[in-house]
Structure 1
């Protein structure tokens, strides 16, 4: 039987980066090979599959392929109030910093964590994130790694992140030098917020725009809401506007496409990757902006 034809590699734009979670069905060597075939220069990695493969082995694999690791996801979950849990979280984040440094990326994305069980005090939980950053920022800086606080959509405030807006993320970053703590801007989480343009200007002026991720917002949301990120162009997000806003704020770095989507994970990973690059060029290329 003749094998089915493989998708033709599109020409990946120079600033395009694929987040590993978008095509998590591809093992790391398969992802690296597909990036080489498609001319993709950047990849955002996740700790769990990297650890499974081996951090040093993963670092060699991407380095030998000429890939840039644009971010490592994720550190964070820093809201615990109980001392032993806080100590475990800090230790895990120091390990994440070490992994980022080994992989050669300068950016560790932080998902800050939700409310501890039985806790309803959002401001106090958010303040504990700031306390944790004070402990982690010097450790990360000594290893050449920046911490990028990622605000998540408010629907995740209870269980995943008490940091819901770019303004809140910038307030947490403000006590630290920009080269130590900045923000990760993700369209899926921030597309709805009309205060974002002014916050982006402030973030850019302060040098705190450390990462930029894309996903579309489609409805209805699936059960659980975590794995419902839409493919670029399928939903409500105005990507050309976001590209203009980020450029005006001074961001000129890589742009990761990060999709959590059960339907995409059930498909052929190379086909998903090819389609993701095509859509990126269509909705985010120079002609679109």
Structure 2
């Protein structure tokens, strides 16, 4: 439990105050937060809430989407929000192809240039930009960074304290190079997130995640790999699934803790 973190997206129906109270009652030390519900609650108010509860904010999701209009200002706001919440790790989802484009290489170059533009601002705020690769099925519309190797090719241009990577089992389990890339990542691993892969995928593949142990991913192999690379940070359970979201928040949290202790820790 010392490394367990409960990602807010795993229980979308749970308000922030209820989530924080539930985590404190269950002995959970950390939470991963999302910008939209935090902004709705109030960033400074949320920061006070988690700080007074004694919880660590293990990551804030998300910045990125570098093909969207106004991406720079939006990411500067995200950096500021992460700093206010007291988390070092701002998760970046790069965004997909620009409208009308089929040039994925140019889209990846654009991601690298955008991150480079943000680095001085992140360093000044004490925030690390954490590049998250997403499964290739999301490449066109959500994230042109599909492998840990691609994320590292960008991150390695900068100091490890400024730009890191996210290891998410759901997005990376299929890659036959992933364990070599985890070893390569070393101290650039900014966050470790766990969710299982289940089939058949539901309509709307974004919601095809499951709690650890319910699918086909070897969770402990991933945990052993990030540990061997030197990662000592939080292990966030982050699951998107409509059936899970329909359950009461305390029940979701209890199931996530059991899954973590049984299949990951």
Shorter chain as denominator, the TM-score bin is over 0.9
TM (norm. structure 1) is 0.91
- Contact 1:62 1:68 survives alignment (8 Å): yes
Give me the whole-angstrom Cα distance separating, in 1, the residues matched to 2:135 and 2:174. 9
Residue among 158, 174, 177 paired with 1:195: 177
Residue among 230, 235, 250 paired with 1:255: 235
Alignment of 1:117-196 (within 5 A): 117-196=99-178
Q: What is the number of residues matched between the two proteins? A: 265
Structure 1 runs of 4+ with >3 Å offset: none
The reply on whether 1:109 has 2:91 as its aligned counterpart is: yes
Instruction: Name the structure 2 match of 1:268.
Output: 248
Q: Which runs of 5+ in 2 are unaligned?
A: none
The reply on whether 1:214 has 2:179 as its aligned counterpart is: no
Q: Which runs of 5+ in 1 are unaligned?
A: 1-12
Q: CA RMSD in A?
A: 0.7
Shift of 1:43: 0.2
Match of 1:119, SS state, is coil
The reply on whether 1:226 has 2:214 as its aligned counterpart is: no
Shift of 1:24: 1.3
Give me the whole-angstrom Cα distance separating, in 2, the residues matched to 1:77 and 1:135. 14
- Contact 2:212 2:264 survives alignment (8 Å): no
Residue among 19, 36, 40 paired with 2:7: 19
Give me the whole-angstrom Cα distance separating, in 2, the residues matched to 1:237 and 1:246. 15
The reply on whether 1:240 has 2:220 as its aligned counterpart is: yes
Shift of 1:249: 0.8
- Contact 1:79 1:126 survives alignment (8 Å): no
Give me the whole-angstrom Cα distance separating, in 2, the residues matched to 1:215 and 1:270. 18
Larger radius of gyration: 1
Match of 1:210, SS state, is strand
Match of 2:118, SS state, is helix
The reply on whether 1:36 has 2:24 as its aligned counterpart is: yes
Match of 1:226, SS state, is helix
TM (norm. structure 2) is 0.99
Match of 2:193, SS state, is strand
